[in-house]
Amino acid sequence: MVWRASLLPNRPWPAIAPPLPVREFADWADPEYVDRVQVDMTTPSGIALRGFTPGGQELRVRVEAVSAGVVRVQFRRPDADLSKRTRLARDSGLPPRATVREQDDHILLEADEIVTRVTRQPFGIVFSTPGGRRLLAHSGAERDVGEYLTTLPCGFTERDSQVFLHDSFLCEPDEHFYGFGEKFTDFDKRGQIVQMWNYDAHGVHHEQAYKNVPFVVSTRGYGVFVDSHRHVQFDMAASNHSAWSIVCPGEVLDYYVIAGPGLARVIELYTDLVGGPARPPKWAYGLWVSSGFTDDSAAETLRRAKELRQRAIPSDVLHLDCYWQEHGTWSNMEWNGKLFPEPERLVTELRRLGFRVCLWINPYLSPGTERYREADENGFFLKRPDGTTYVLPLWGTFHPPVAIVDVTNPRAAAWYQELLRPHLRMGVDVFKTDFGEGVPRDAVAHNGMSGEELHNLYPLLYNDLVATVTTAETGGSGLVWGRSTYAGGQRHAAQWGGDPNCSYPAMASTLRGGLSLAMCGHAFWSHDIGGFHRTPAPDLYVRWAQFGLLSPLSRAHGMTSRLPWDFGEEALEIFRTYVRLRYHLLPYLYTYGVISAESGLPIMRPLVLEFPDDPATHAIDLQYLLGRELMVAPVFNPEGVRDVYFPAGGWVDYWTREVLEGPGYRTVEAPLERLPLYVRLDSLLPTIEPAAHISEEPFRELTFRAFLRERAGFRLRDVDGDTMVDARLDGSALQIEASGARTAIDLVVELASERREVTRVLVNGRPLGAEDRAWRHLKDGRVHVPVTLP
């Protein structure tokens, strides 16, 4: 049963999480926990041990350095079959530098960036920096005055013929935790119990989530990744404020401790472990406009496309949601011939207008169609334990029940890809891979997995299928627009944030989910501008558009129209302003997309990621950095007033050019047309003039906007190579250094002090004179410098 508060009804959902064991009040029996270990063998990079419990049970323990800053810890029952495990972590292939030293009472594993100390009796593990600062340590078995356990020590529990392994760690009084996927609860997960089980969450208002990732990052400069696709539970100092714990079903608990230093380094190393983000094409950074979850047709689609162009709304992708197929046949991948009689002609016309095309799909098929019968006869669906096809009401009463394509069956996977291939050859560019969270735990898969074992893996395999066939047919990156995912799912750019209600609280929860997912290395994230469920009020639509158009990717979608002209003339004008701002910033956004694909660091960054030493940032989850240079503070109320925190340094109001000094909070009044947006002082922003849609060619007519007090630099990443620009004030001289792929750029300098005046300009050490495309002072006090390189 799905938990709800008293008197609230439980929503029926056929794919709920399996229950974890509960100790009753009178249950005094301790779990089997390891209290001593002996060394079995050592290797150049690790230790194999036998662990023993007070009751005489045995666990095998393995501790090994796998790469710089990363140590793997594995506990398992002696008879555990490791051959059947599906690992999510990848082997680095590069043996780390490590040394094992045995002492009388402990063993030391010293590796690059991390030292692991294993105490023989009482057993415990401590992870430290090479300088001796403790990162993470076992907590042991802690009890209250009644001698009841308040933590689960390293060991296992058996309940109802099931085995659950667990481990606990000390939690420092000032420690904070982030990550776990797209969790819509408070960004700081301290004090929460977090479940790893993908749900069709039907909103963003509770702990259930579409995207779960068993990875946590701590402000102490470490991360822990649990390599399991089962229903893992994390108790983040909820049951005992001095400890946090992991409970994992099965006979193996396998986790990686990742040492920074710093949160950003932890995320980079985690990304190396599970795989980095795919890099989307340039056009994906443009605006995606959806038909909405409502009736549609070819004529309506063309009307939307032409009106977007006529109303000068820059946009790149038209998304056709469910109704490109006939209701009741979802998702058999066949066009509704009555409403879309000539789909190939439609796609061609949309391409002529400068639009890419996205089609909605899911991995379910309804009985009664020829496609269903074909798949059922060939055994392409998940089964019930009795061998019959598993048909279940994943749409509730809105749509007929469905069967789930068995993506572990190679023939079924190939068959499913063949359903997609004709659409790609027709000119469709990308699929919205909806759903994937509905595998019931008693299902049986072709590869022998139970539904409980497959459940969290399913969206990874489903998106893999779609991404692979998309790459094969388009030659691109395999872009998908997915809803559900799990650890390693950043290889599928992109994801969006599910189905929020049209409300300010849901908008705030959406941002919290995006920030939590960002801490797991997911860079290319988006959400439904305006919210999904019902119709937003015009002010909410505008505020959500401001947030959405300054997110990593942007899409307008909902149950009803999200076209800006349907919300009034004022909303249309404001929407146009912010979509043009997005297109103005495309070189900046694209650069950070390249950085994300290379490093795993997100485009949308929680403040704590950039300012981890500032305690004020540890719980901030209603504002964020977009890249390193921009800070965005969406407004979450109709009054247009909010508090904004400014970290240390100077911040320039993007609209007024006022310089605000941090650290500290300010109350900001923002009329509807004004999004609180700030530029970090001493920053360069590469920009272009907005166009109707995006070309895959190198950015043209670049202007670098310099918000300058002393010195700023930026390395532009583009398809034709990198361009480096550095601007420095030296007294009254503006010194510019430029190199790289571009031979001509413009620089517009905004001086952060009215007492500074530029009288000379030098480019790469050469003074600019009248014979050059002369630099000049603009009427608003800025300095314009055209730069031409030989």
* Contacts of range 466-474, beta carbons closer than 8 Å, 24 or more positions apart: 466/361, 466/417, 466/420, 466/431, 466/433, 467/278, 467/491, 467/492, 468/417, 469/417, 469/420, 469/421, 469/424, 470/420, 470/424, 470/430, 470/431, 473/421, 473/424, 473/425, 474/424, 474/429
Structure tokens at 546: 């401001």
CA 669 and chain centroid, separation: 30
Q: Which of 657, 673, 511, 687 is nearest to 582 (CA)?
A: 687
Q: Which residues contact 56 (CB under 8 A, 6 or more apart)?
A: none
What does the chain come to in residues? 790
Active site residue 349: no
How far apart are the C-alpha atoms of 13 and 201, rounded to whole Å? 10
Report, in angstroms and rounded to the nearest whole number, the Rg of the chain calculated over CA atoms: 28
How far apart are the C-alpha atoms of 274 and 271, rounded to whole Å? 5
Q: Which of 344, 129, 117, 388 is nearest to 258 (CA)?
A: 129
- Which is the catalytic residue, given 113, 227, 272, 437? 437
Count the neighbouring beta carbons within 10 Å of the beta carbon of residue 591: 22
Name the DSSP class of 638. Answer: T
Cβ 404 vs Cβ 381: under 8 Å: yes
Active site residue 104: no
* Contacts of range 89-92, beta carbons closer than 8 Å, 24 or more positions apart: 89/225, 89/227, 89/256, 89/273, 89/274, 90/273, 90/274, 90/275, 91/66, 92/66, 92/67, 92/272, 92/273
3-state secondary structure of 783: strand
Q: Which residues contact 71 (CB under 8 A, 6 or more apart)?
A: 63, 64, 65, 109, 111, 114, 116, 127, 256, 257, 259
Kind and range of the H or E run holding 418: helix 410-426
Phi, psi of 671 (to 5 degrees): -60, 165
Active site residue 499: yes
Q: Which of 500, 542, 526, 498 is nearest to 636 (CA)?
A: 542
Q: Which residues contact 129 (CB under 8 A, 6 or more apart)?
A: 113, 114, 115, 135, 221, 259, 261
Q: How far is CA 665 from CA 643, 657, 662, 714, in A?
A: 6, 18, 8, 28
Strand duo 554-556 + 287-290: pairing? parallel
- Which is the catalytic residue, given 35, 272, 429, 434? 434
- Which is the catalytic residue, given 64, 188, 272, 499? 499
Q: How far is CA 258 from CA 217, 413, 761, in A?
A: 9, 35, 47
Kind and range of the H or E run holding 599: helix 586-599
Kind and range of the H or E run holding 565: none
Active-site annotation, residues: 434, 437, 499
